[in-house]
Structures are given as C-alpha cells and as structure tokens.
Amino acid sequence: MTTELLIRSVREDDLPAWQVLWDGYNAFYGRKGDTRLPADVTRMTWARFFDAYEPVHSLIAERAGTVLGFGHYIFHRSTTSIGPVCYLQDLFTAESARGMGAGRAIITGIYDRAKAAGSSRVYWLTHETNTTAMKLYDQVADKPGFVMYRHLL
C-alpha cells in the first residue's frame, strides 16, 4: 500500500527538512563553497514564506510525513495582463523522490494556486543542462522560445 502524496503550503516546522532540500538545490546550481548563498539570504527567503505582505510562497510535497520536495513561486505584475503573473522560481525534489510524481504534483499545485489568484500564466526558467527536469517540463508546459539575458550588478 502506497501512501498518498500531499501537496501543501510550507509550515514553520518544515524548516529542517526544507533546509536539507534547499542546500541540495543550491548545490545542484553550483552555489556551494565560496559561491554559497549567504546565510542571511536563506533566512530571509524562509521568512518571506510566512509574511502575508510578501508575494513569495512555498509548496511542499510530503509522503508519510517525509518532505520530498518544494516549489517556490512569486506573484508579480505584468504589462501584458491585469491579473498577477506567477513565476515558479525554484523547484526541487530529493533524489530519492525523483520519478515518483512529486515534481509534477508541485507544479500542478502551483498552477492551482496561480489560477485561484487570478493569474493568466505560470512560467519558469531552468538551466539548459537540466535535461532530466526538462523531460517533465516538456509534458506540463510549452516552451515559448524566449532567451534569457542578465547583467549582474
């Protein structure tokens, strides 16, 4: 008998499990050692999830009391719609949970929350080398062809 996968908002008591996943996510993107995110950024990110005035949110995937992954999303204004747009900023699952539907369920949960908030779309970025995740993304979203540019300040 398999236990149902639960998608829910993050709770303050999730911090230890979230921190492990957050560290794994940042390591995946090369933010470790000398390039590690400063601790104050992590503390502020966590605090924003619980601040009603912040547009930053987090969903957790959980099975049998074990946190398997997270999705962080942000609502913002757009020049192309009246309602807010939803940016899925971070999506990560524990390596042991990959291929079990947690990532898809988190994305679906974010779609549901974005729709309820009046969003017309959810969008996200991933690194071009993240081919495993792109197999899922190609099933749950379209690729509009935009290329990202940035300038670090």
Q: What pLDDT does 131 receive?
A: 92
Q: 12 lies in a domain?
A: yes
Q: 76 lies in a domain?
A: yes
Indicate the number of domains in the chain: 1
Q: What pLDDT does 144 receive?
A: 93
Q: 145 lies in a domain?
A: no
Q: What are phi and psi of 134, to 5 degrees?
A: -65, -25
Which structural domain, as residue segments, surrounds residue 82?
5-140
Q: What pLDDT does 33 receive?
A: 66
Q: 152 lies in a domain?
A: no
In this structure, which long-range contacts are made by residues 54-59, counting pairs with CB atoms below 8 Å and at least 24 apart in sequence?
55/84, 57/9, 57/113, 58/9, 58/10, 58/18, 59/7, 59/8, 59/9, 59/10, 59/106, 59/109, 59/110, 59/113
Q: What pLDDT does 1 receive?
A: 47
Planar angle of CA 123, 126, 131, nearest 5 degrees? 125
Q: What pLDDT does 4 receive?
A: 92
What is the chain's pLDDT, residue by residue, as a tens digit (153 residues)?
A: 468 999 999 999 999 999 999 999 999 888 876 667 889 999 999 999 999 999 999 999 999 999 999 999 999 999 999 999 999 999 999 999 888 999 999 999 999 999 999 999 999 999 999 999 999 999 999 999 998 999 889
Q: 11 lies in a domain?
A: yes
Q: 66 lies in a domain?
A: yes
Q: 153 lies in a domain?
A: no
Output the pTM of the full model. 0.93
Among the listed residues 95, 148, 93, the one whose alpha carbon sits nearest the alpha carbon of residue 126: 148
Q: 80 lies in a domain?
A: yes
Residue 37, domain CATH: 3.40.630.30
